[in-house]
Amino acid sequence: MDLIYGIKDKPRFGKVVLFALQQLLAIMAATIAVPAIIGHGLTASAALFGAGVGTIVYLLFTKSSSPVFLGSSFAFIGSMFSAFAGAATLGLSEQAGYWGLIIGALMAGLVYVIIAIIVKFCGVEWINKLMPPVIIGPTVAIIGLSLSGNAIGDLMKSSVEGGSTYVALICGLFTLAITMLFSTYGKKVGRLIPFILGILAGYLLATLFAIIGNLIDNPALIVINYGAVKALDFSKFSGYISLPNFTFLLGGTEGLKAVSGKYLLTLFSAYVPVAFVVFAEHLADHKNLSAIVGKDLLKEPGLTRTLLGDGVGTIVSTAFGGCPNTTYGESIGCVAITRNASTISIWGCAIICIIFSMISPLVAFLETIPNCVMGGVCVALYGFIAVSGFKMFQSVDLNKNKNLFVASVIFITGVGGMVVSFGAVEIRTVACALILGILTNLMLSKEDA
């Protein structure tokens, strides 16, 4: 793929701001969704702040050589629930649960650090042998395909109870159409910011439907919820600027003192196994990103640096926003579609996330973007992830039974949505597909002998 901007290129300031905003819009929905799912006082603004800080840590470790944003990880949702449930079971306070989030992320981050040390001394060739293109390619494709249900669900979802599914679908498809048209036929800046233009177009269409719906008293036409904006109190300073509810502040010293040995074991069992799973996703994402930018990121800046950046970034992010981070497929999809791999854009996105998290009206505005509009954008983003995976194993000889079985196992378990639970530990779809693919490849390895 011919890039418009390479990793070390430095676009003009105005373009950097636009590119950064586009990355923000691409990653925002998923980043703020995790705290919304978990509840317990975790907020979208804190998650944005944590993601921004975590991404800066990642960029520093990777010497600004890997253009990807780190956002809230869905893989750790079960672990986060376990942190609060485990505290409650042991009779600990909710404040202890907040420290459970931080300590659990610390444990997960240490897994990354240990693997990074092994890679430092043993190299990455053992990983390439363990997970060749016939495994990584289908796994990357599954990352995109496994998210397809989320995209379609949002595409047809109204943000207001009583809103029409068909109106939501029209707004979502309109967003997708504008995004595709600008990405394909746009000139200069238009081709580089198709997501911003698509989201703005979808937002305006949803607003138009809402205006008509209010005029003719037809609630079915209203699919956009302005509740977050209406809730702002501009008579108070907090209506303009407010600090997020950072996790370590929610926990306080009393919560930290309440943490017990049994609780630490609960956190270990909930977080550490998932960390190995997310490592596999980390590897697949960087293989995918390497193919997009035309540079092997596992060699430069190196898997050791990307793992350390991801691991330490996760710890720092959780301390502020409560959510462990992961490299975002949406961010990679954004790089692929816009052909802009400049890490300056990622720096800009991280800084804007931190600033926006403290500006109340901006946070409120972002929260009003309709689900259907974000769903339209995600159809393109997730689709590009899947297609990137297909491209990674297009040179694999599928006439060999071994390769055919490996790819088949990954695709069917992945598309089928296989999830395996062991108590509080949940091995999700992508991880199940990857693990079974590796086992199949090892079992049939004699065919290559």
pLDDT tens string 5-53: 999 999 999 889 989 998 988 887 778 778 876 878 888 889 999 999 9
| Mean pLDDT calculated for residue range 68-91 | 84
- Judged against a pLDDT cut of 70, whether residue 262 lies above it is answered with yes
Of 39-48, 105-114, 269-278, 371-380, least confident by mean pLDDT is 269-278
Rounded CA separation 312/114 (Å): 12
**Arithmetic mean of pLDDT, 158-166:** 92
Question: Tens digits of per-residue pLDDT, 169-187?
Answer: 999 999 999 989 988 888 7
Cα(331)–Cα(103) distance, integer angstroms: 27
> d(Cα 410, Cα 91) in Å, to the nearest integer?
42
Task: Give the residue with greater pLDDT, 139 vs 286.
Answer: 286
| Band of residue 369 on the pLDDT scale cut at 50, 70, 90 | confident
pLDDT at position 285, please?
87
pLDDT band for position 218 (50/70/90)?
Answer: very high
For the cut 90, the answer to whether the pLDDT of residue 404 exceeds it is yes
DSSP H or E stretch at residue 72: strand 70-72
Residue 189 has pLDDT above 80, yes or no: no
Q: What's the pLDDT at 448?
A: 63
- pLDDT at residue 16, as a whole number: 92
Average pLDDT, the chain: 87
Question: What pLDDT, on a 0 to 100 scale, did the predictor assign at position 298?
Answer: 87
User: Could you give the CA distance from residue 415 to residue 146 in angstroms, rounded to a whole number?
Assistant: 6
Question: Phi-psi region for residue 278, left (φ > 0), alpha (ψ -120 to 50) or beta?
Answer: alpha
For residue 421, what pLDDT is reported? 72
Q: What is the pLDDT of residues 331-347, one digit of tens each?
A: 888 898 888 999 999 99
* 326 pLDDT more than 80: yes
Beta partners for residue 325, in sequence order: 72
Place of tokens 């069917």: 412
Residue 235's pLDDT is what?
A: 83
Which candidate, 444, 363, 383, places its Cα nearest to that of 408?
444
Whether 321 shows a pLDDT value over 70: the answer reads yes
The least confident of 102-111, 181-190, 364-373 is: 181-190
**Is pLDDT of 397 > 60?**
yes
Model's pTM, two decimal places? 0.75
What's the average model confidence in pLDDT over 272-289?
A: 81
